[in-house]
Amino acid sequence: MTAPRSRLTEMLGGYRRTAAVYLAAALGIPDLLIDGPRSGLELASLTGVGEERLRQVLRALTALGILGQDPGGRFFLTETGDLLRTDHPESLYGQAIYFGGLSYRAYGGLHESLTGGGVAFDHVFGIGYYEHLDRHPELAGHYHKMIALAPGMAQLIDGLFDFRPYRTIVDVGGGNGSLLTEILTLSPAARGIVFDLPLAADAGRKTVADRGMGDRCDVVSGDFRIAVPPGGDVYLLSRVLANWSDENAVKILSNCRDAMGNDATLLVFELLMPERVAEGAFAVDGDLNALAHFGGAVRTRSRFERLLAEGGFHLAEVREVLPGAHWSLLRCVPEAVR
């Protein structure tokens, strides 16, 4: 067990590591080392950064184990550093850019947002999260890759709810359509609508085309705070509500309710916060991210019940997607048919 003082000191220095990894990625250093080691001078000329200043960063990356130095003093990528190459099959380059250039900065606004109101991200960037992504398509690309659900998640969700009897499934905030197209593969008679912001439409259309679903799945653009496509018999809100304040979450739920007939079902797929957490609890990372980026939250079951009731739903059932993982499918029915 590490001594309390060392543990705390390590926590206090976390910002340096995030910043150094971000710099490596943002300066393109990993890709410059794909073909072999390079000297500090070469890297300085290729990145356009002054040699002495770049050396400070290269030394920090070496101390972190991202770079190594050969006997001639040239820098090379370690196995860890390799993961920052853009061509690596398991590349974390996009995460380095996203966490270091966006999340990390947003967290800097948390204190101001907690004491003065508003959303941390908006304080720092001057605009909302999704507007910012809209203006930075490259960042939006990293975001959509990063949030892609793990392969197999659709099968797990499908195992908890039988979509086969339903005709039209509307995935509200459906992102790049990967979840819905997988569900449609498992339910061959159903049709689908991926509904998301215009910024996600290209990615959605590409997934639908790549999976040969053009005749069964439409991609519709809009804002779920204003309205949601009507006429579906199952509505899915997967990993959407955590990104919104209670007030906006109720608005989104009410818009779903308005679009739904009394017999339709709403499925909410979210991480559930346990009523009490212990050290190392994993849901808190998502919770702080939601707070910093959106003023949202990973909610407990009882908080969901309250929000759903305000949005016009009754929480009929909660099923954990994987035991102990807290990812859960909430089956909700419109209030009128309770």
Ligand X SMILES: C[S@@+](CC[C@H](N)C(=O)[O-])C[C@H]1O[C@@H](n2cnc3c(N)ncnc32)[C@H](O)[C@@H]1O
Task: List interacting residues with ligand X (CB under 6 A).
Answer: 130, 147, 149, 173-175, 179, 196-197, 200, 223-225, 238-240, 243
Q: How far is the CB of 307 from ligand X (least distance, A)?
A: 17
- What secondary structure does DSSP assign to 146-159, as a single string? HHPPPTTHHHHHHH
Q: Which is nearer to ligand X, 34 or 146 (CB)?
A: 146
Q: How far is the CB of 204 from ligand X (least distance, A)?
A: 9
Q: Which is nearer to ligand X, 82 or 196 (CB)?
A: 196
Q: How far is the CB of 92 from ligand X (least distance, A)?
A: 19
How far is it, in rounded angstroms, from Cα 254 to Cα 278?
34
Backbone CA torsion sign across 155, 242, 267, 148: negative
Q: Which is nearer to ligand X, 26 or 199 (CB)?
A: 199
Buried b (16+ CB within 10 A) or exposed e, 90-120: ebbbbbbbbbbbbbbbbbebbeebeeeeebb
How far is it, in rounded angstroms, from Cα 160 to Cα 182?
15
Q: How far is the CB of 228 from ligand X (least distance, A)?
A: 9
Question: Which run of H or of E encompasses 104?
Answer: helix 104-107
Q: Which is nearer to ligand X, 33 or 219 (CB)?
A: 219
Q: Which is nearer to ligand X, 101 or 222 (CB)?
A: 222
Amino acid letter for position 256: C
Spatial contact of 333 and 309, defined as CB atoms under 8 Å apart: no
Spatial contact of 59 and 65, defined as CB atoms under 8 Å apart: no
Q: Which is nearer to ligand X, 179 or 256 (CB)?
A: 179
How far is it, in rounded angstroms, from Cα 118 to Cα 135?
21
Q: How far is the CB of 171 from ligand X (least distance, A)?
A: 6
Q: How far is the CB of 268 from ligand X (least distance, A)?
A: 11
The torsion angles phi and psi of 185, rounded to 5 degrees, stand at -60, -35
Q: Which is nearer to ligand X, 149 or 266 (CB)?
A: 149
Question: What is the length of the chain?
Answer: 338
Amino acid letter for position 103: S
Q: How far is the CB of 144 from ligand X (least distance, A)?
A: 7
97 Ramachandran zone, left/alpha/beta (phi>0; psi -120 to 50) = alpha
Q: Which is nearer to ligand X, 29 or 179 (CB)?
A: 179
Q: Which residues pair with 221 in a beta bridge?
A: 196
Q: How far is the CB of 64 from ligand X (least distance, A)?
A: 29
DSSP state of 295: S
